[in-house]
Amino acid sequence: MKIQRAIGAFLIMLIILTAVGLGVGNAATGTVKIGFLGALTGDVAMYGQPTLVGMKMAAEKINKAGGVNGKTIEIVEADNRGDKQECASIVQRFISRDKVAAIVGDPCTGLTKVAAPIAERSKIVLLSAGATGTGVVELGKYIFRDTLLDTVAVPALIDYFAKNFGYKKIAVITSDNNDYSVGLTQVFKNSIKGKGIEIVTEEKIKDGDKDFSAQITNIKAKKPDIIFFSGYYTEGSLLMKEARKQGMTINLFGGDGLYSPTLITLGGSAIEGSMVYVGFSPEQPTPETAKFIEEFKTANKGKLPGLFEAQGYDGVIILAEAMKRAKTNDPKIFRNEVAKTSNFKGVSGYITFRSNQEPVKSPVYLLEVKNGQFVLKTKVSVKIN
C-alpha cells in the first residue's frame, strides 16, 4: 500500500508539474491570446478581412522576435458577418471561453459600440483598428482605437480646402440610419464654424437607397463648390452617378467610409476627382511604413497593403508593447501602459493617446480618384501634443 501511495503521489506530482510546464489556460500556456473582431463575410468584410491580415502579420513578426514576455501571440478569429448580435456573442465567447487578453476590432463604429460595453464589464482591453465615429472610447476606460479620428482629420482638411481651393459653399448629405454617417456630419458641421464656409443645403438619405434624384436636384439648385457625403461607398457611388446624370461637374468628398474599390467599380467615371481622407497610404512612406510595405509585398505576392491591414498591424504592436512595458498580459495592469502610448511610430502614422484615450494621429492622407484608382493628393500634418 505504501508503494501504491508513493506511486500515486508521484503521478499526481508529475501531472501538476506537466500542467505547470505546458500551461493551463491563457495565463500559463505560453501564449497570449488576442481576439480578432470583424466581418470575414458579408457587406463589411472588406474592412474585417484586411484587418485580420495585418494582425496576423504583426503577431508573426513579434513571435519571431521572441514574443511577449516569453509568450507567443495567438490571434483568435471569428466572423461576426457585420451583425450586431453575432458581434456581441463573439466578444462574450472571446472573454469566457478563449480567455483573450485583448481584442482588436471591430473596424466599424456601430459594431465597436456593441462590443465595447461587454469588454469594459470584463476589464478586457478592446482596441478598434477602424472605428472613427463619435462616442466610442467614452464607453469605458478599457476602450481604445488607433484610427485617424474624424475630429482630428476634418478640421485640418477644411483649412487645407479653404486655403488651396477656396471652397465656400458646401452641400452636405447624411445617411440617417448609419451611426457613422450621422456622427461624421456633426463633426463636419462643428469644424466649419468660424471658417467662412456655408452649408447651402443638407440632404438626408438612407443606407440601401437607390434613387437619389430628388436630393441631387436640390443640391444642383444651390450651386455648391463640393458635396460632402458622410456615408459609405455604395451610396457615394450612386449619388455621383446621379449628379453626373443631371449635368453636375463638382466632386464628392468624404471620410474612410468611402474608401473602397467598390466606390470606383460602382461609380465608374462619375467618381473621378472625388476625394477621401484616410489614416494610411503606401505613397510617400515613412521609414517604418516603407519597411512594412516591403514585408507585406513579400508575403502577399507583391500586393500593396491598405488602410485596414496597416491599422490592424499597428493595433497588435501597440498592445504587445504595452504588455512588455507592464511585464504582464493581465489587461487590468497593461491597460495603463496602452493609455501611456506616446509618439508611437506606427506603419499607419504616428500615434499618441490623449488622457481621454483618444488618439491623435498624423498625417492625414487625402486621396483622389484618378484614372480609376485612389491616388495620394497630399499629406496634411496634424500637431501631436
CATH number for the domain including 236? 3.40.50.2300
What pLDDT sits at residue 29? 54
Kindly state whether residues 199 and 270 are assigned to the same domain: yes
Reported as a pLDDT band with limits 50, 70 and 90, residue 179 is confident
Kindly state whether residues 302 and 371 are assigned to the same domain: no
Q: What is the residue range of 36's domain?
A: 31-148+285-353
Kindly state whether residues 253 and 371 are assigned to the same domain: yes
Reported as a pLDDT band with limits 50, 70 and 90, residue 21 is very low
Tens of pLDDT, residue by residue over 144-170, are 999 999 998 999 999 999 889 999 999
Kindly state whether residues 84 and 166 are assigned to the same domain: no
Cα separation, 330 vs 313, in Å, equals 21
Kindly state whether residues 160 and 263 are assigned to the same domain: yes
Q: Is residue 57 part of a domain?
A: yes
Kindly state whether residues 143 and 165 are assigned to the same domain: no
* Spatial contact of 364 and 156, defined as CB atoms under 8 Å apart: yes
What pLDDT sits at residue 366? 96
Tens of pLDDT, residue by residue over 278-317, are 999 999 999 999 999 999 999 999 999 999 999 999 999 9
Q: Is residue 19 part of a domain?
A: no
Kindly state whether residues 158 and 177 are assigned to the same domain: yes
How does the average pLDDT of the chain come out, rounded? Answer: 91
Reported as a pLDDT band with limits 50, 70 and 90, residue 381 is confident
Kindly state whether residues 272 and 190 are assigned to the same domain: yes
Q: Is residue 16 part of a domain?
A: no
Phi, psi of 345 (to 5 degrees): -90, 80
* Spatial contact of 141 and 335, defined as CB atoms under 8 Å apart: yes
Residue 384 pLDDT > 80:
no
Q: Is residue 22 part of a domain?
A: no
Kindly state whether residues 39 and 127 are assigned to the same domain: yes
Cell matching residue 113: 459600440
Reported as a pLDDT band with limits 50, 70 and 90, residue 385 is low
Tens of pLDDT, residue by residue over 44-69, are 898 999 999 999 999 999 999 999 99
Kindly state whether residues 37 and 131 are assigned to the same domain: yes
Q: Are strands 344-346 and 349-353 parallel, antiparallel or unpaired?
A: antiparallel
Please count the structural domains in the chain. Answer: 2
Residue 171 pLDDT > 50:
yes
Q: Is residue 272 part of a domain?
A: yes
Q: Is residue 7 part of a domain?
A: no
* Spatial contact of 380 and 160, defined as CB atoms under 8 Å apart: yes
Kindly state whether residues 138 and 156 are assigned to the same domain: no
How buried is residue 314: exposed, middle or buried, by Cβ count under 10 Å (0-12/13-18/19+)?
buried
- Which residue carries 488618439 as its cell? 359
Q: Is residue 2 part of a domain?
A: no
What pLDDT sits at residue 162? 87
Kindly state whether residues 254 and 373 are assigned to the same domain: yes
What pLDDT sits at residue 1? 47
Say which amino acid occupies 380: V
Q: Is residue 230 part of a domain?
A: yes
What pLDDT sits at residue 137? 96
